[in-house]
Structure 1
Amino acid sequence: MTEDLDALAKDLDREHVFHSWSAQAGLDLPVIAGGSGTVVWDHAGRRMLDFSSQLVNVNIGHQHPAVVAAIRAQAEELATIGPATANLARGRAAQRILGKAPDGFAKVFFTNGGADAIENAIRMARLHTGRDTVLSTYRSYHGNTGAAIVATGDWRRMPNQFARGHVHFFGPYPYRSEFWATTPEEESERALHHLERVIQSEGPSTIAALLLESIPGTAGILLPPPGYLAGVRALADKYDIVLILDEVMAGFGRSGRWFAFQGYDVVPDLITFAKGVNSGYVPVGGVIISDAISATFDDRVFPGGLTYSGHPLAAASIVASIDAMESEGIVDNARRVGDDAIGPGLRDLAERHPLIGEVRGEGVFWALELVSDRETREPVGADVIGRLKKELTSRGLLPFAADNRIHVVPPCVVTDGEVQEAIAIYDEALTSVEEDLF
C-alpha cells in the first residue's frame, strides 16, 4: 500500500504539476511523504538525510513541534486577515525580527517570499533616492519576479530581461578571480576598485542601490574576502547609494549567525529576508527598513502591497521559530557544527578526492567545487554532477547541486553524528564517480 502511494504521487506529479527551472519531460523526482529534523522519508519509509534543506530554507528542521503547534493555534484563532489591520501575531513577528537586526531599524514590510522582498527593497531604494539604476553582481540569485530576476546575474535573467535600470559587475571569487588576485586581500582590494569604476562609469547620480547577497548562495557560497563588504558600505556612503543586503538564503542561522553580514563589519540600509525566518513552514519574506528610509514614507504613500502581507499563520510561525532557535541554541549549533564537524569533514574529503577543487563555507552553508583537473581548475560537466546526485540519492542523502558544485547545507539542527553519516555518503559517492574518471 505504501509503495502504491509513492507511485501515485509520482504519477500525479508527472501528469499535472509544472515544475520550476526544468524541462518537464523525463523528470523523475523523489517522493517526500514526511520528515523530522534533518531526515525525510517517502511513503514506504525509505529514509534520507536532507542535506539540501530543500531550497536551503528549512533551517529549524522538518516538523519542529513548536512551530507546527503555533501554526495550528493561530489557525484555530484567526486563519487569515488583510494587511490593512493591526494584528498581534504580525506585530510580534516584526518585533522578534527587529530584535535580531542592528540598531537603527524599527520597521518590517512583510512579503510572500524572498523574490518580492527584493522587488520591494528595490522600489524603496528608488523612491528614497529618486534614482533608477540598481547594481548587482553577475554571480548572484535574487528571485524569479520582474526586477529580482533581472538583478540576478546568472543565466536565468537572460530569457527574462523585462525590468529596467539594472547593471551587473563582478564580485570577489578568489578561487576563480576576475582580477588576477593571488591573495584574499588582493581580491578584495581589486574587486572594490572594479566596483568603484563601475559606479563612476554609470554615473553615481543615476544609481539608487547596490544589491548584494551577504554571502552569495546559489552562486557558490562565496564568503566575502577581508574588508570587502565594509568597502562596499564605504562606497555606498561615498556616492550616497542605498546598500541592500540580501539575507534571504544566508540569514537566520545559516551562516552560524542571525544575519550573515554580522560577521563582516557592515550595516546595510535595507535587509531582505525569507526562507530561514520560519523555515518555509508558511510562505513569507520581508524587508527590514532602516529608520532613514522608513521616514521617507511617513507622509508619502508607499506604492506597494500584497494581499497576504503579514499573514497571521506566517507571523505565528516566525514568532515560534525565532523563539525556538533562541531557547534551543540552534544558531549557536549551526556555528559550532560548521567549525567542528562539517568544515573538518569536508576538508578531509578534499585531501582524498581529486574531484574536489575547493571547500568553502561557514555555519551550515558550505560548497564543494568540483573540477576535472585541480591544476587548470576546469569545472566538471553536468554529466558528472548528475551521476554524483544519483549516487548520493541512492545512498540515502538528498543533495543540493548547482553548476559544478555540491552544496552541503543541512538544517541548523544537524548533529555531529548526522554530519559524520553524510560525510561517509559523500565519500562513497565521490569514490564511485572518480573510479570512472581518474
Structure 2
Amino acid sequence: MPTRRYGIEEHPQREALTVEVHARPYATLQAPERASHLAMLTGGGGANDDRAHVVKLCKRFNVAAPAEEMNHFMADFGPFRLKWERHTEFSTYTFFRSEAVPRDPFESPVLDAVPKDWVEAIPGKLMVAIHAAMESKDAPERSTDELARLFGAESFAGANVADGSAKAFMDFWINGDGFGHLLIRDAGLAPRRAGRLLQRLLEIETYRTMSLLAFPMAKEASGKLDRIGQGLSSIMDAMAGLEETDEEKALLAQLTDLAAELERTAASTNYRFGAARAYYALVEKRIEELRESRLEGYQQFGEFMDRRLAPAMRTCEAVAHRMEELSQRLARASQMLRTRVDIQLEAQNRDLLHSMDRRAKLQLRLQETVEGLSIAAVTYYGVGLVSYLAKGLKVGGLPIPVEAVQALAVPLVAIGAWLVVRRIRRIVTREVD
C-alpha cells in the first residue's frame, strides 16, 4: 500500500524505481588488482537459479546472502571478493583479489581461489571468460614484444583510456586457458574510477559476445529468405499467364505457405535481432565512456569493434530489413492474387445469376402453360359433369335442352376454373413474400 508523507500520496513503485538507479554500483579497486570474469547465459527465467547458486556460496563462507529478488550482489569472501549481476538473459560473476601482479599477470588467476565444485556447478552456458589484471604505475613498463608474447593473439587492442589515466590492452580472444586476457596499467586512477574502467572493459567484451549471438541466426535466416524470395518471384511470373480460377487458388495457397515460413523465421529471430541492437548500442556506449586516445603501435578499442563487430551487426540489420521488405511484398502479392480470385468469382456469380434468371423465366412460362392446360382439363371435366346432370334431369321428365346447357356451361366453368387458379397463385405468392 502507498504511504503518505506530508499529506502527499506516493506512487507504489516510487521507492523501487529509486533503488533501481543505485542497484548496480561499481566496485572500488586500487592497483595492483586481479580479477576473473564469467558471463553465463541462462535465459529469461534463470534469475532464481543464479541467485540460489550465489546463496550456496555465501552459506559456505558464512557471508550474508543476497535478498530475494535482488539482481545485484557484492561481498568479501576472504580469499576473493564477488560481484554478481543478473541481466535480462545472463548473469555475470566477477571475482576480485588485491595482490601484486606477477610478470605473467594471467597465471594463478583469482578463479583458482573459488571452490572448484561451485564454479563447475554455475547454472547456464559459458559465454564470456576473462582474466584481468590491473598493475600499478610503479610496476616495470612492458615492451611491445612482451605484450605481443603475453597476449599471444594475432591482433589485440591497446589504448590510453580514462583521459590518459591508464593504459588498457585486451585480446578479445579465447586463449589456451579458455579465457580472454585484459591488462590495465594504472597511471593515476582513483579507486572508484578504476572500478568503473575495469567494469566497462569487461562489459565491452560481454556485450560484444552477446550481440554476436544474432549473427549465426542471421546467416541461417538469409538462406531461408533467398528461397522465399525466389518462390515469390516465381509466383509473380506465373500470375501474368493465369486464366483459370483453380490456378489462381493454387498460387494463393503457395503464397500462404511462403508467408507462413516467413512468419516462422521472423518469430525465431526478432527477439535475438532486437537484443543484438541493444547490446551493440551498449558496446558503443562503453567504448565512448573509455575516452580512449591512440597508443602508438596499437589499434584502439573503437577501431577494433568497427572492423570486427560492426560488419556482423550490419549483416543482422540487413537481414531484418530484408525480412520486413519480403513481408510487405508477400502481402502485396497476396492482395493482388486475392483481388484476381474475387473478380473471377464475381464474374462466375454474375453468370450464375443470369442463368438462374433465364431458368426462372422458362419455369414461369412452363408454369403458365401448365396452368392453361389445367384450366382446359378442369373445364372439360366440369362440362362433362354438367352434361351428366342435364341428361339425368331430362330423363326424370324435365324439358331440358342438354346441348344448350353443355354449350352454356363451357365458358362458365372455364371462367370459374381460371378464377380459382388465379386466387391460389395470389395466396402462394403472398406467403412467399
TM-score (norm 1): 0.22
TM-score (norm 2): 0.22
